[in-house]
Amino acid sequence: MKFQDNFLWGTASAAYQVEGAYQDDGKGLNVWDAYTQEDGHVAHSENGNIACDHYHHFKDDVKMMKKMGIRNYRFSISWTRVLPDGTGKVNQKGLQFYSDLVDELLANGIEPLVTLFHWDYPLALHQKGGWLNRDSSDWFAEYAKVVVDALSDRVKYWMTINEPQVFIGCGYAIGKFAPFEVHQAHDLTRMTHNVLLAHGKAVQVIRKYAKQKPTVGFAFATPCCTPESNTPEAIAEAKRKSFAFTKNRFPFELAWWADPIFFGKYPEEAYRILGNDMPEILEGDMEIISQPVDFYGVNIYESKATETEFGYAENAYIGCARTQMGWPVTPEVLYWSPLFLYERYQKPILLSENGMASHDWVQLDGKVHDPQRIDFMKRYLRELYRSMQDGAKVMGYMYWSVMDNFEWADGYDKRFGLVHVDYQTQKRTIKDSGYFYRDVINTNGEAIFSDTWTEQ
């Protein structure tokens, strides 16, 4: 039992979470750089100033990926490393870093997948209104062109924006992530519209200026709900809930973000529920937002669920298996989400993130044994394979993450990586799961059905 021959097996990371070097070589500040310096936002008052220092260790990190058999690497560009003020003068040293990284990946047989924006919004633009400013989409398009001009001769795969549900929902609705603000619906809908315009304009830029034929998409969050049973009624109800619109949590809703891209309009319920809080939509906006994309990228860790009156979400129960993040282990989500998303939007699905945080440390034998992560990967990938057998078109799987890193408001306690990072010394140690994933890749998925794996 194998995945298709052209299946993309890879890993993922994000600039702010791994690069460090937050003021090196002319880089400008972003909202995470600025606001994590304040106490109270991040566990232990930690920040990404140094992180994994990938900026200075990228060549060794790429060699490590090669050792693990990684074929595709999804990484993000730091906007302010390229444009310190978000617009205007280009920082050539910062741009050169990404050019060197791409060259190093290709030299080691690893295909780069570039994400233009993974939450690290330029501080200078934030101070000009950020996503509330209608000009924000033009700022993003200018930035996109700089990156495309520099890298598209070697980069084929592009993702515009990562998890807008999270950086808008957590950053501006509930204040959990940078810039740690709380806004009302009137502002949040306008931010949404400007983010979607930024996505659409970036797609236009990539299509127009790429030096080789690009493959373009995005990386959204918000997976689908899973049905309580396999009855037609339960499946229909899970679909309904997956794409529903609610007033209280609309920034996190799937259809709120995806429908404008694929259908050229916001969900019908949104107009009724939000009323005057809906954004102003100018002539031509929806045409820009609904620029054709090549795939639907989605980051999935657990099934979508709402809280119940008993204190457990619908995907949880007393004593259920949970990751270090406290998220229930729900492998069936990789069966249902690709099926539901492909059925609704008719685009190939890219699992742009999937993985788990676990309690990992270097043990007395000098190795990192993480059997829970191996078990997690087997369970989730088996469900993904089953989804594909039943009709979902899936183009690839990016494990999150290639190495332990700065986990946003949780700081460095949560370890998602296939590689352990000692933040005191920056020493990397490939975990058992990293060697297991190498077997998965080398066998094109057959290893997920085996009870054994080889370390050497």
Q: Assess if residue 436 is contained within a domain.
A: yes
CA angle, corner 217, sides to 211 and 218, nearest 5? 125
> How many separate domains does the chain show?
1
Instruction: Name the band, by pLDDT with cuts 50, 70 and 90, for residue 1.
Output: confident
Neighbouring residues of 317: CB distance < 8 A, sequence distance ≥ 6? none
Contact 295, 215 (CB under 8 A): yes
d(CA 410, CA 404): 12
Let me know if residue 454 belongs to a domain: no
Catalytic residues: 163, 353
Q: Is 74 inside any structural domain?
A: yes
Tokens 């795939």 sit at which residue?
Answer: 295
Judge whether 455 lies within some domain. Answer: no
The pLDDT assigned to 307 comes to 65
Reported confidence tier of residue 145, pLDDT bands at 50, 70, 90: very high
**pLDDT digit string, tens, across residues 266-281:** 999 999 999 999 999 9
Torsion of CA 198, 204, 205, 206, to 10 degrees: 110
Q: What is the DSSP string of 377-410?
A: HHHHHHHHHHHHHTT--EEEEEEE-SS----GGG
Residue 359 tokens read as 């309690």
The predicted pLDDT at position 312 comes to 81
Q: What is the mean pLDDT of residues 228-243?
A: 95
Give every CB contact of residue 182 below 8 A, 6+ residues apart in sequence: 172, 173, 174, 175
Domain CATH number, residue 118: 3.20.20.80
Q: Can you give the residue range of the structural domain that contains 197?
A: 8-449
Q: Is 92 annotated as a binding residue?
A: no
Q: Is 81 helix (H, G, I), strand (E, B) or coil?
A: helix
The answer to whether the predicted template modeling score (pTM) of the entire model surpasses 0.95 is yes
Q: Is 336 annotated as a binding residue?
A: no
Residue 347 lies in a domain: yes
Least confidently predicted of 207-216, 282-291, 297-306, 412-421: 297-306
Would you state the structure tokens that stand for residue 117, as one six-digit string?
């924006």
For residue 429, which amino acid is it? T
* Higher pLDDT among residues 248 and 20, named by residue: 20
Specify if 282 maps to a domain.
yes
Q: Is the model's pLDDT at 453 over the cut of 70?
A: no
pLDDT band at 18 (very low <50, low <70, confident <90, very high): very high
pLDDT tier at 305, thresholds 50, 70, 90: confident
- 302 among annotated binding-site residues: no
Residue 385 lies in a domain: yes
Q: Is the dihedral of CA 332, 335, 340, 342 positive or negative?
A: positive
Specify the pairing of strand 111-117 against strand 427-430. unpaired
Q: State the average pLDDT over residues 143-147.
A: 99
Long-range contacts formed by 379-383: CB under 8 A, 24+ apart: 379/329, 379/331, 380/331, 380/333, 380/334, 380/354, 381/334, 381/440, 381/445, 381/448, 382/331, 382/448, 382/449, 383/331, 383/332, 383/333, 383/334, 383/335
162 a known binding residue?
A: yes
Would you say residue 316 lies in a domain? yes
Which residues neighbour 437 within 8 Å (Cβ) at sequence distance 6 or greater? 11, 68, 69, 377, 399, 418
Q: What is the mean pLDDT of the chain?
A: 96
> Do residues 334 and 386 make contact, with C-beta atoms less than 8 angstroms apart?
no
For 427, the 3-state DSSP assignment is: strand
pLDDT in tens, 19-42: 999 999 999 999 999 999 999 999
The mean per-residue pLDDT over the stretch 219-230 comes to 94
